[in-house]
Structure 1
């Protein structure tokens, strides 16, 4: 079972895919709350070189509000990470599948919310 929703974007620069991803997330009601430049961090902390790799912490406030209302500690699993990384074929965009990540929580109502968020993130990934 895959734990991410994936798509490879060909013939686009990493920066262009980054801009498109952020805009598409915004168009679907998500804001980017956190950003981790893994490539820069690995270079700074370990002096290791790697291809571009960016983690965006995306949050849809209405869905987060609903999830926290159902399960207050679910915030430990938020926001939904979206990864951009250079691969030989282009730029891979991967979003967490919230249904898979929420299997650790035994709450059917929360799983329904996770399903809605998965559908929304699937739309985002396909629209980029």
Structure 2
């Protein structure tokens, strides 16, 4: 995955356990999961297609989101922070985190020093989530 887009961790644990652990680690860093999209179920229901276990989580830290939205309401188009959890071919799990700093380059939003600072803080917190997953 291109580093500027995000970062990932590989976990030697089944998908369901990884999904539960990711949600708990996000919560520990102040993020709530505001959306959860089960792509396997969606593709099966809408397309009749099978797909590996894959969930897109929309993670929101209310304090960080509030600070950004006060600065520029357009930021809302780029929220929440996306985190994906998927099963790999070895029945382990891959967790990917979108890079908030990269996402905010859309429309030049990163030029605002407050938005840039909050995006850096969001990335740092997401990196702490990734680290916690690797050490648990």
Quick check: TM above 0.5?
yes
What CA distance in whole angstroms lies between the structure 1 residues aligned with 2:131 and 2:95?
10
Deviation digits for residues 51-99 of structure 1 (CA, Å, limit 9, x no counterpart): 1000110000000000101111101111101100111242000111000
* CA deviation after TM superposition for structure 1 residue 13, in Å: 1.2
Q: Which moved more, 1:103-112 or 1:46-55?
A: 103-112
What CA distance in whole angstroms lies between the structure 1 residues aligned with 2:9 and 2:51?
20
> What's the counterpart of residue 123 of structure 1?
128
> What's the counterpart of residue 70 of structure 1?
71
Q: Secondary structure in 2 aligned to 1:50?
A: coil
Q: Secondary structure in 2 aligned to 1:51?
A: coil
> What's the counterpart of residue 10 of structure 2?
8
* CA deviation after TM superposition for structure 1 residue 5, in Å: 1.8
Q: 1:92 aligns with which of 81, 91, 94?
A: 94
Normalised to the residue count of structure 2, the TM-score between the two structures is 0.89
Q: Secondary structure in 1 aligned to 2:114?
A: helix
Q: Does 1:27 align with 2:32?
A: no
Q: Does 1:114 align with 2:119?
A: yes
- Unpaired stretches in structure 1, ≥5 consecutive residues: none
- Cα RMSD (Å) of the superposition? 1.1
Q: Which moved more, 1:32-41 or 1:101-110?
A: 101-110
Residue correspondences, number: 127
- Unpaired stretches in structure 2, ≥5 consecutive residues: none
Q: Which moved more, 1:105-114 or 1:115-124?
A: 105-114
Q: Which moved more, 1:115-124 or 1:103-112?
A: 103-112
